[in-house]
Structure formats: C-alpha cells, structure tokens
Amino acid sequence: MSAIDQMRQAVRASLEVRGLTKAYSSEVSVGPISFDVREGEFFSLLGPSGCGKTTTLRCIAGFERPTGGEILLGGARLDTVPAHRRDLGLVFQSHALFPHLTVAENVGFGLSVRKVEAAERRRRVADALALVGLADLGSRWPQQISGGQQQRVALARSLVLRPPLLLLDEPLSSLDLKLRQQMREELRRLQKQLGQTTVFVTHDQTEALAMSDRLAVLSGGRIEQIGTPEQIYRRPTTRFVAGFIGQANILDATIAVRGDDGVAGLRVAGPDGVVLRVRLGEGSGAVPPPGSAAAAVIRPEDVVLGDDGPDAENTFRAQVRDIEYLGEDTQVTLEAPGLPPLLASFKTTRTASARLAARGSGTLRVRIDAADIHLIPG
C-alpha cells in the first residue's frame, strides 16, 4: 500500500461551526459565525485583517474558549474536548520548527509524543517526507533548508498524524510570491490526493479563489457570504464582498423598469443618469419593484471597449481619463455622460492596445452586456 493510500485511510471528518462567538471584551467580539465544511473539502476563511479568521481557527483548535456556539467534528461535539485531545493538524504562518531537532525528528515529534513505536514512526516520517517532496532532507537541520522547504516540513509534521481535520492559518504568507504560488499548487494537490478536510485562513483573495472548493468571506467578525470561488466572484451578495474580491464598479442605482424574466431597467447615478438594461442570471432572485434602491456590480473585464458591432443594449461613448498598464492587463478609467467614472480592463494584447491608441483624443465606444451587470441590495 502506498503512503498516499495509507494516509487516505485516515479518518476524515466534516466540520460544523454553529453560532460560534468569542467576546474578547465588551467592544471586541467575533461572531456569531456558522459554516459547514464537508468531508474532504478545502474550505477557506477570507477577510481583511482583524475580521476574526484566526479567532475562529483557534476556537476550532481549542486554543481559545468560545463564548458561545457549538463546534462539531464528524457529528460529535468538539468544543468540549480539551485542545491536546482534539488531534487536529495545525500549520501556522510562523512554522516554528524545533531548531535543535532534525527535519525527520521535527516531523516525528508528534508521533513520539503519542508513543508510536520507533519502527512505525520511522516509516510514517519517511512517508510524510516523501509526500511533501523532501525524502532526502530528513537528516538536515531546519536552518539548513529554505523557507519553502521549512513550510513543507511544517505540513509534513501535521499530515504525519493523519488528522481528521487540517487547520492552516496563512501558512504561505512568509514566502515570496513565486514560492507561494508553487506551494499553493503543491498544497492543493496534496490535499486532493489525501481527501484531507481542510480549513485554510487567508487575507489573500487570489489564494482563496485559486485553492478553495468553497470559501467564506468575513468582515467585522461576521460571515458576509459563503460560496464557490465562482459564486463569490460572479455573484457577490453584499457590497463588501463585491468590493473586497477583485476589482468592481459598484454603481448606486434605482430600479426604473421591471420587465419579464429577470430583465430590468436600472437608472444609475441620480435622476439624470443613464438607464442600463440588466438581465439577471438564474438563482439571482426576483428584480425588486420599480423605485427600489439597488447597486449594480460590473467587473472591469466586462466593460467592453471599442466594440464596433451594431448598436446593442448598454452601448455608449466614453472619454478615456486614465490608462494604467499592469503588464498582462491594462486598466482604463472611462467617463461617460450620466455615469460615474467606470473602470474597464482588458488583456494587453497588441491589437487591443493599438485600438486604444488609435482613438486619438476622441471618444471610445463602450458596451456592457446586460447579463454582466449583477444586482445587489442598495
């Protein structure tokens, strides 16, 4: 049986967090927070600094005593179990390997504490090191390996215990960009291979979107939205989520006309503003009645520039105010009568750049597909 097969046999469990609260003081508290993580799922907690990610993770790990709520692992109460008996895998930002133990001894430490006998321990340590691609480095000291390798040792140290749940708190944030991207892929591949139920904490939206099966976006100690990366990006349900994830034009608007089949006319930027046509996708709910306040979320990549096709819905002419080259993408700030400044972006291809340059000082035709305008409560 391969190392992977053996580790796959580890107990896997689902996690339920129900109305979890942690009050640090009368002013500072986190929660109530509720979410479920399915067996084998990679679930992220994403949010800005201070939103309560680490607090939530520490409550699950047992390092913090919740003020209220329940935590269940595999259907059984976890929050009543002492931290040292929860047997969860933990990897934190500062991976803090023991400097006086070799790589292999670091990985085997938890097994020694659990009195796993030496031969079995050696075998499991070798398997875990092989799993993270460090089979040959077991006899090195932590200070003799790179930051990325140290991070992998920290991961191996957790995985070797075959935990039912792996908790990761910003484990990649101390690594440089290239290494972070590489570790992101490695970690995800390993997690899938093992079917390891994982809760991953990060404030990096790219990381959360790239790695997660589902994620929860937190703000001010509360969950704003839970969904797949695509749902969170394409269908944000709150202004916070729309603004926090990626770039977004968020336009204040009023429903002007309500048509059939989720079609609406949306008046943006005050009474003299433009009326945009909106076509809501499936599962977006009903269009609110005319006169209701709403906000329109439009991603910059959905603002199409220099479209020379026949006149279509939501087509207008705009002045280019600013151009920002970001390498792969170019961002353009547009101004059009009856609209607030609008951010557009496109892939920096030769033809797209040439088209933008060719407009001279004139205006540019701009189009937004009615299906690319997403409505959230105003």
Ligand X SMILES: Nc1ncnc2c1ncn2[C@@H]1O[C@H](COP(=O)(O)OP(=O)(O)OP(=O)(O)O)[C@@H](O)[C@H]1O
Q: In angstroms, what is the minimal distance from the CB of 6 to Mg ion? A: 33
Residue among 50 and 74 whose Cβ is closer to ligand X: 50
Q: In angstroms, what is the minimal distance from the CB of 36 to ligand X? A: 20
Pairing of strands 166-169, 89-91: parallel
Find which of ligand X, Mg ion, none residue 138 binds, CB within 5 to 8 Å per kind: none
Sole binder of ligand X in the list 11, 28, 135, 293 (CB under 6 A):
28
Find which of ligand X, Mg ion, none residue 31 binds, CB within 5 to 8 Å per kind: none
Binding of ligand X by 150 (CB under 6 A): no
Binding of ligand X by 26 (CB under 6 A): no
Which position has the token pair 């640090």?
24
User: In the chain, which ranges are continuous DSSP H helix?
Assistant: 3-8, 53-61, 103-113, 118-131, 147-159, 177-194, 205-211, 229-234, 239-244, 350-358
Rounded to 10 degrees, what is the CA torsion of 162, 164, 167, 171?
Answer: 30
Q: In angstroms, what is the minimal distance from the CB of 92 to ligand X? A: 10
Select from 52-60, 156-164, 237-245, 318-326 the region that touches Mg ion (CB under 5 A). Answer: 52-60
Instruction: Report d(CA 66, CA 147) in Å as an integer.
Output: 33
Rg, Å, the chain Cα set: 25
Find which of Mg ion, ligand X, none residue 98 binds, CB within 5 to 8 Å per kind: none
Residue among 132 and 172 whose Cβ is closer to Mg ion: 172
Select from 15-23, 50-58, 157-165, 299-307 the region that touches Mg ion (CB under 5 A). Answer: 50-58
Sole binder of ligand X in the list 124, 203, 235, 367 (CB under 6 A):
203
Q: In angstroms, what is the minimal distance from the CB of 229 to ligand X? A: 19
Find which of ligand X, Mg ion, none residue 361 binds, CB within 5 to 8 Å per kind: none
Residue among 15 and 60 whose Cβ is closer to ligand X: 60
CA angle at 202 for the pair 13 and 281, rounded to the nearest 5°: 85
Would you call 50 helix, strand, or coil by DSSP?
coil
Near ligand X in 324-353, by CB under 6 A: none
Residue among 25 and 361 whose Cβ is closer to Mg ion: 25
Instruction: Report d(CA 58, CA 14) in Å as an integer.
Output: 17
Number of residues located near ligand X, criterion CB under 6 A: 12
Structure tokens, 373:
């305008």
Q: In angstroms, what is the minimal distance from the CB of 235 to ligand X? A: 24
Beta strands across the sheet bearing 222-227 = 89-91, 166-169, 198-202, 42-46, 214-219, 222-227
Residue among 54 and 212 whose Cβ is closer to Mg ion: 54
Q: In angstroms, what is the minimal distance from the CB of 224 to ligand X? A: 13
Beta strands across the sheet bearing 329-335 = 303-305, 363-368, 315-325, 329-335, 342-347
Phi, psi of 243, rounded to the nearest 5 degrees: -80, -30
CA angle at 187 for the pair 182 and 193, rounded to the nearest 5°: 130
Cβ 56 vs Cβ 226: under 8 Å: no
Binding of Mg ion by 54 (CB under 5 A): yes
Pairing of strands 89-91, 76-77: unpaired
Select from 47-55, 264-272, 295-303, 360-368 the region that touches Mg ion (CB under 5 A). Answer: 47-55
Find which of Mg ion, ligand X, none residue 184 binds, CB within 5 to 8 Å per kind: none
Would you call 377 helix, strand, or coil by DSSP?
strand
Binding mask 43-72 for ligand X (x = CB under 6 A): ----x-xxxxxxx-----------------
User: In 235-329, which ranges are continuous DSSP H helix?
Assistant: 239-244
Q: Which amino acid is present at 12? A: R
Q: In angstroms, what is the minimal distance from the CB of 218 to ligand X? A: 7
Binding of ligand X by 215 (CB under 6 A): no
Q: Is the peptide bond before 171 cis (omega within 30 degrees of 0)?
A: no
Contacting residues toward ligand X, per CB under 6 A:
24, 28, 30, 47, 49-55, 203
List of residues contacting Mg ion (CB under 5 A): 54
